[in-house]
Structure 1
Amino acid sequence: MSSVTVHAPATIANLVCGFDVLGLALNDPYDVMKLSISETPGIRIQHNDVYNLPTIPEQNVAGVSLLEMMQELDSHYGFDLVIEKHIKPGSGLGSSAASAAGVVVAANHLLGNIFSKEDLVRFAMAGEKLASGVKHADNISPGIYGGITLIRSIFPLDIVSLTAPPMYVAVVHPQIEVKTSDAREILRKEVLLKDAIKQWGNIAGLVAGFMKNDYGLISRSLEDVIIEPVRSMLIPGFDDVKKKSVDAGALGGGISGSGPSIFMLCEEKNTALKVEKIMKDIYDNTGLKYHTYVTTINNEGIKVEVNNH
């Protein structure tokens, strides 16, 4: 086996109230990455997309993640990587995490799955640090584990896979860029105890709602009193999308990652399609370009295909 192709999914981090601790994988969109193992040492990266991302390994999130993994390998392998990104960088849909997680899953497969999923998250976090300045795992974990994940702790890593009832996800990605590092800068460094208590209740309620297949509890818990009030100011049309989507029957939702994408969880597909129409109407009126997706939770995570030569 000398090469594999992986589909690395978009992910939604935070899930409204779970800043840096909750995330889920989507079935659409996803990046396509082809990784080949080589006798020639070093990492060579080629991009087949329009985003003009760096190809020097130390400056590329996939390259940095692979370098982190290679530090724990005895042998001097080389890798050739071709990336075709469909998750736009700066979209809030885990573009950097898809690159970081996708490459380590691919490499692990080529090496005979010698590393655990937790190891892979650890390697891929190096890519997230390059992208945002912070080692966070809320996008990487659902990509690697599939479904919805809870990051109980980063140091040491403690990742919990959560079960959840079937849900549809409507997403709108306004074509503006919100850099994760900038979106972190504007956050308050201190929060009121009463806000923290409310947030803890919502996070616990959301996790319990997922585990108990309780749509009502999920809906009541999709509330963020700490991060969203600050970050939503960066996203035109946010309040309008949220209010009208919930009025149309969405369970709730909010900012995907650090934005600008907005997501809404829905119990039924036809509700998600109604929500998508609301999103389109709102952004048609703003004159901003946008993309929408109606998709479902990806319980498999990164998909690996072996290339037969």
Structure 2
Amino acid sequence: MNKQNLQSVKVFSPATVANVACGFDVIGLALDAPGDEMELRISHTPGVKITAIEGAKLPLEAAQNVAGVALMAMLQEYGQPDLGIEVSIKKNIQPGSGIGSSAASAAGAVVGANKLLNDHFSPEALVRFAMEGERLASGTPHADNVAPAIIGGFTLVRSYQPLDIVRLHTPDDLWVTVIHPQIEVKTSDAREILKQKVLLKDAIRQWGNVGALVAGLYQEDYNLISRSLEDVIVEPIRSILIPAFHDLKIRCKEAGALGGGISGSGPSVFMLSKGESNARSVADMMEKIYAPLGVDYKIYVSRISTSGVRVI
């Protein structure tokens, strides 16, 4: 093995929106902000050690932490038993927020570690390692958060067996507005309420929307993107967990949004808009809807990050 050039690295790992309307478990996107900050170091003690976590009460034991599990999978494949990695995490994405908190930790860990290993692994391999963190968090090793976090922009998971990730085109003028109600919806719980069988007519409609959304991104056809942001399978079930969800969708479109839906498993709700001005008008509308509800919330207005995890 080549000797590592870097002994430590700091990275910013972005929040993500997964299940982009019609793209349940297959389409996700990365935000410019918020994001976790992580520092990784080469250690003389073999294995993975999490030295500190700021901003959330999460396990320091590597085998019980999504970043630790992802790093353990990575080191096992790297095949150098004496190698150790220490990691400290500053959580700026609240667990259970629906904007990829677990994915940010797992993705940031493996990208940072890969820098210490002279970029030994491909981005797709890093996605595979980070998915082990998602397995720990939700019981399912899904990639629609970790893929955009690592690769950047919009990503499509074409296949899980074998893993096949496609990076999609991101229109320059596409913005995201996210409202995060300060309630927790666990991904594992949100999965339990889903139906296991889907009507063929609903599946056909969903397939059409996925194909049209991808076409709309490449053609930068904002009207087509808007028409495609429809989820007829998952959203009708999960939306009952989110306060004022249907009011948000209707009134945010009236304020200029192209459309949107539940971010991840919720409770966050995202809206896509053409241009920053529309995105901020949508944020104002979200404020008007949520201010009287007595529910604490945060609102983010962001470009789509085309870089994903980045060294800082």
Q: TM-score, normalised by structure 1?
A: 0.97
Unaligned runs of 5+ in 1: none
Say if 2:286 is the partner of 1:279.
yes
Letter in 2 for 1:252: G
One of 32, 50, 56 as aligned partner of 1:51: 56
Aligned to 2:218: 211
Please list the CA deviations of residues 204-242 of structure 1 after superposition, one character each: whole Å capped at 9, or x if unmatched. Answer: 000100011110100000000000000000000111111
Letter in 1 for 2:301: V
Aligned to 2:93: 87
Q: CA deviation at 1:152?
A: 0.2
Q: CA deviation at 1:271?
A: 1.1
8 Å CA contact 1:101, 1:143 repeated in 2? yes
Superposed, 1:1-309 pairs within 5 Å as: 1-75=6-80, 76-166=82-172, 167-305=174-312
CA distance in 2, matches of 1:126, 1:36: 21
CA distance in 2, matches of 1:273, 1:99: 28
CA distance in 2, matches of 1:87, 1:154: 26
CA distance in 1, matches of 2:284, 2:184: 22
Q: CA deviation at 1:268?
A: 1.8
Letter in 1 for 2:65: N
| Number of aligned residue pairs | 305
Unaligned runs of 5+ in 2: 1-5
Q: TM-score, normalised by structure 2?
A: 0.96
Letter in 1 for 2:267: P
Please list the CA deviations of residues 75-100 of structure 1 after superposition, one character each: whole Å capped at 9, or x if unmatched. Answer: 22111111001011000000000011
Please list the CA deviations of residues 83-138 of structure 1 after superposition, one character each: whole Å capped at 9, or x if unmatched. Answer: 00101100000000001111001111101111111110111110000000001000
Identity of aligned residues (%): 59
Further displaced range: 194-203 or 161-170 = 161-170
CA distance in 1, matches of 2:170, 2:12: 22
CA distance in 1, matches of 2:55, 2:40: 19
Letter in 2 for 1:111: L
Structure 1 runs of 4+ aligned residues shifted over 6 Å read: none
Q: CA deviation at 1:280?
A: 1.0
Q: CA deviation at 1:42?
A: 2.4
8 Å CA contact 2:255, 2:278 repeated in 1? yes
Counterpart secondary structure, 2:94: coil
CA distance in 1, matches of 2:215, 2:78: 40
Letter in 1 for 2:30: A
CA distance in 1, matches of 2:53, 2:150: 23
Q: Cα RMSD (Å) of the superposition?
A: 0.8
CA distance in 2, matches of 1:187, 1:135: 17
Please list the CA deviations of residues 169-188 of structure 1 after superposition, one character each: whole Å capped at 9, or x if unmatched. Answer: 11100000000000000001
CA distance in 2, matches of 1:228, 1:101: 26
Q: CA deviation at 1:73?
A: 2.0
